[in-house]
Amino acid sequence: MKHQLVLVIDFGGQYTQLIVRRVREQGVYSEMVPWTKACEAVTSRKPDAVILSGGPRSVLEDGAPDLDYSVIEGIPTLGICYGHQLMAHRLGGKVQKSTEREYGRRTLTRADTHALVGRLTSDQVWMSHGDQVLSAPPGFTVTAETDTCPIAAFENVATRQYGVQFHPEVSHTPDGRSILQRFLFEVAKLRADWTPDNFIEESVQRIRNEVGDKQVLCAVSGGVDSSVVAALMSKAIEDQVVCVFVDHGLLRKNEAEQVVETFTKVFHPRLIAINARDQFYAKLKGVTDPETKRKTIGEQFVVCFEQHADEIKGCDFLAQGTLYPDVIESGSPTAAKIKTHHNVGGLPDWMKLKVIEPLRWLFKDEVREVGRKLGLPEDVVDREPFPGPGLAVRILGEITPERVRITQDADWIFRTELRKHGLHLHIWQSYAALLDVRSVGVMGDERTYEQPIVLRAVQSEDAMTAQAVNLPFEFLEHVCNRIVNEVDGVNRVLYDLTSKPPATIEWE
């Protein structure tokens, strides 16, 4: 089944991925594409609608992100923030530097209740811009304003082109999703055919067509992504899939044993568990650079997988749980590289196995829904995300068995206490990280010179953005006391309050 497609053209906006998610939440398939590749993508993909994202630049700058509007002529188009300004600039309107920069919540005054923005149940919208549209292009009607922005929305119903200066995709615009709904279903006349059930049905058929009668090695870690891939592969090709769990020595405390027990209990497939701790530690000896760590771990995973694939007759494929955020952050054509994910940019050129990534275009919340449809238990589906490189990206500096032990013990105390106090329920990810510095302390009237632990707990929807969780001070003080007293080698505990952006969720 060919799904209708909404292409979100990315002009570098911090909320671009969120636009994609909001469209998919309406049951419509969407992808993002950078403005530099937009013409090629529109020509080849023939989208049913286009959304132009926000961005940090000014349309008045030399070399600012641009678009050949003839390519999207006749396609329903919604411009958001920078996209709104670019639409005006390219179609004959006027954009100017604003005398008063708008950032934050503003009150919208609407001129037409029949307009795209006319039926908002709240007048509150979220602005983030320095330029503004001074005059709309010929044929466009101004439909909303604020006290400092004379054209907060405009539209040309005949050409199905719409622009809003504010951000309807963020939660700070309370009824913003209704604008996207009206654009998708009333303007573009799309159908909601992007569902977990359809995804499963189409993925099963695609896997069967690609694999044929070959065997597939499925990399599993016990996390939701690899568990959903394993369930999907098992549904598609049954006993042609062999699941392989590699214990690289960088899991959380007692987790390797729990993964094997849980996995065999849930799936009952062929499962090969490999203890490769010594192999990974040896390759990581002396490595301190984060990117080198990730690439080294990615290579060693492939070494393990290919060694065991050679033992399985007719095994040509490696299935893994790569997600859309992994692809984006690893420097796909849709974004600059933030960090290499071990299962994307960390894969070596020499690997022989052909990679299958059924979840490559899904966000985490979509993966969880697919997992539920496949019948996975809630404790698997709702498991906190855990990075493939494991504690390697939470231990700054060199990886050694002793430093892994310190991090595991501190992490176990923190996460145990979160659950004991019921604070884990609204946390996306929580962990302890070990810094590559030492600090002076006093314990038992003696001087210590040991390492600090950083605790981190964040709320998120899809890992593209995140906010630190406001944990009670008394709780943090209690956890700190436990860690300092029970974990040898630690004399100081910190709590990370940084959001993403500017930080990432993981430390490396």
DSSP type of residue 339: -
- Specify whether 169 is catalytic: yes
Distance CA 350, CA 11 (A): 35
Could you say which of 102, 155, 169, 255 is catalytic?
169
Q: How far from 94 is each of 58, 81, 133, 137, 300, CA to CA, in Å?
A: 13, 14, 6, 8, 56
- Specify whether 304 is catalytic: no
Nearest-Å Rg of the Cα atoms of the chain is 25
Cis status, amide bond into 501, omega within 30 of 0: yes
Could you say which of 129, 167, 248, 342 is catalytic?
167
Distance CA 247, CA 1 (A): 39
What element of type H or E holds 246? Answer: strand 241-247
C-beta atoms surrounding 51 within 10 Å: 28
Q: How far from 298 is each of 66, 159, 173, 387, CA to CA, in Å?
A: 37, 49, 41, 12
Q: Is 266 exposed, middle or buried (0-12, 13-18, 19+ CB in 10 A)?
A: middle
- Specify whether 248 is catalytic: no
DSSP type of residue 121: S
Distance CA 139, CA 161 (A): 10
What element of type H or E holds 126? Answer: strand 124-135
User: CB of 287 within 8 A of CB of 296?
Assistant: yes
User: CB of 266 within 8 A of CB of 376?
Assistant: yes
Could you say which of 81, 218, 243, 480 is catalytic?
81
Q: Which residues are catalytic?
A: 81, 167, 169
